[in-house]
Amino acid sequence: MNASENEYFTVGSSVKCTTCYNVDIEGEVMAFDSSTKMLIVKSPASCGRPMLNDIHVVNLNHVSDVTMLKETTQPPPPVINHNVDRLKRRVQLEVKRKCLLVEALKAGATAEGLSLYNIIHKTIGDISWNGADIVVMNKVTIKAPYTVNDVVGVQDCPAFGHIRKIVEKHQNEKIHSKTDNPSAK
């Protein structure tokens, strides 16, 4: 079956798509939008973990072949009721974070600063940019060039010591990666 104008994919069917890069994507149809010719396919996780899945968004305009492996006879499952307000808040928060990131880059934040910011953000959600400075919990600031000596704040605050340890660990890992791989910058 070639990707043609009048194709329709039923949710729950199994398909195999060959992309224009000769990559095969095989799995269960999760969704199909005929107006944009986008197909969402769920397949077993590439990492091999049985509780996970890979989700592929396939643009049928970039597919050389689509094969229907198994057509479902079951009606599609009911649509999951998502908390739209929660999703909107999450989108707004991410847009705000990206805008702050752009402002930090404009103010001179370096790749090192961005890397450190992302590492801290994984464990501490209350983190933001103030120009090129990283501000954690409104109590600790990390100034460029983002070393242990550039961590400032109230020293008897528990967060201060914790942030210093994170920065120190990040610096040590960076040094070790340079010594293990001399071509790394």
For 148, counting Cβ atoms within 10 Å of its Cβ (0-12 exposed, 13-18 middle, 19+ buried), the class is: middle
Structurally, the chain folds into a number of domains equal to 2
pLDDT band at 183 (very low <50, low <70, confident <90, very high): low
Same domain, 154 and 89: yes
Domain that holds residue 135: 84-178
- Asked if residue 79 is part of any domain, the answer here is no
How many other CB atoms are found less than 10 A from the CB of residue 117?
A: 21
- Asked if residue 133 is part of any domain, the answer here is yes
Pick the more confident residue, 2 or 122: 122
Same domain, 38 and 105: no
Q: What is the pLDDT of residues 114-127, one digit of tens each?
A: 999 989 988 888 89
- Asked if residue 183 is part of any domain, the answer here is no
pLDDT at 11 over 60: yes
Average pLDDT over residues 7-25: 90
Same domain, 129 and 44: no
pLDDT for the residue numbered 182: 62
Say which CATH number the domain at 59 has.
2.30.30.100
**Residue from 166, 145, 165, 163 nearest 154 by CA:** 163
Same domain, 129 and 174: yes
- Asked if residue 114 is part of any domain, the answer here is yes
Same domain, 21 and 107: no
Q: What is the pLDDT of residues 80-92, one digit of tens each?
A: 777 888 989 999 9
pLDDT band at 2 (very low <50, low <70, confident <90, very high): very low
- Asked if residue 8 is part of any domain, the answer here is no
pLDDT for the residue numbered 181: 66
Q: Where are the beta strands (DSSP E) in the chain?
A: 14-19, 24-33, 38-44, 53-59, 63-70, 127-130, 133-136, 140-142, 151-153
Same domain, 63 and 91: no
- Asked if residue 158 is part of any domain, the answer here is yes
Same domain, 24 and 56: yes
Same domain, 99 and 64: no
Pick the more confident residue, 77 or 64: 64
Same domain, 33 and 89: no
pLDDT band at 1 (very low <50, low <70, confident <90, very high): very low
Name the least confident of 15-29, 59-73, 168-182. 168-182
pLDDT at 6 over 50: no
Q: What is the pLDDT of residues 127-139, one digit of tens each?
A: 999 989 999 999 9
Q: What mean pLDDT is reported for the chain?
A: 87
Average pLDDT over residues 22-47: 93
Same domain, 122 and 152: yes
- Asked if residue 151 is part of any domain, the answer here is yes
Pick the more confident residue, 41 or 158: 41
